[in-house]
Amino acid sequence: MNIRLADESDTSQLIAISEASGSAAHWTPRQWTDIFRSQAPPRFAWIAQQDSNLQSIGFLVAQHNGSEWELENIAVLPDFRRQGAGAELMSALLSHAHAHRAERILLEVRASNLSACHFYGVSGFQVLARRRAYYANPVEDALIMVRTFEN
């Protein structure tokens, strides 16, 4: 498995992974390219590739504003789930955030997405709050989860 920071040339691969994943946030092409253009707050994207043929199989996108980070989007292609790509992407985020003196990382997840909630829990996130009827199609609550760092 190869995990690296993505760049704008990876945009089509990021979009393809997102579209193949039912649980990823589906952004417009403009929203994807905006990740790589200078913005405040800064954003980072990591991409997971198979070692054998460097096929892109997953991604993670996060932004940071000083000591607070937000995990915005994460997905792994269905055929490659439960093989460690998500854990390695999360590890890259946690390492990068900690190195940049993050105090916490926040995320939102559908309350019904039990596998994602479990994954985040194993990664050290805890439920902080619930947003009622946050998601549409279908209407559903969001769980706000947080991972704190001891600096």
Interval 56-68: pLDDT, tens: 999 999 999 889 9
Query: Taking 80 as the threshold, does the pLDDT of residue 23 lie above it?
Result: no
- 117 by DSSP, 3-state: which? helix
In angstroms, rounded to a whole number, what is the distance separating the alpha carbons of residues 50 and 2?
6
Domain-wise residue ranges, the chain: 2-148
Residue range 47-105, pLDDT digits in tens = 999 977 789 999 999 999 889 999 999 999 999 998 999 999 999 999 999 999 999 99
CATH number of this structure's domain 2-148, picked from the four choices 1.10.10.60, 3.40.630.30, 3.10.580.10, 3.40.50.2300: 3.40.630.30
The whole-angstrom distance between residue 44's C-alpha and the CA centroid of its chain comes to 10
Cα separation, 91 vs 87, whole angstroms? 6
Tokens found for residue 66: 């000083």
The contacts of residue 63 (CB under 8 Å, 6+ apart) are 41, 42, 43, 44, 69, 70, 72
pTM of the model: 0.92
Q: How far apart are CA 10 and CA 30, in angstroms?
A: 13
Cite the beta strand spans of 34-117 per DSSP E.
43-49, 56-65, 68-76, 104-110
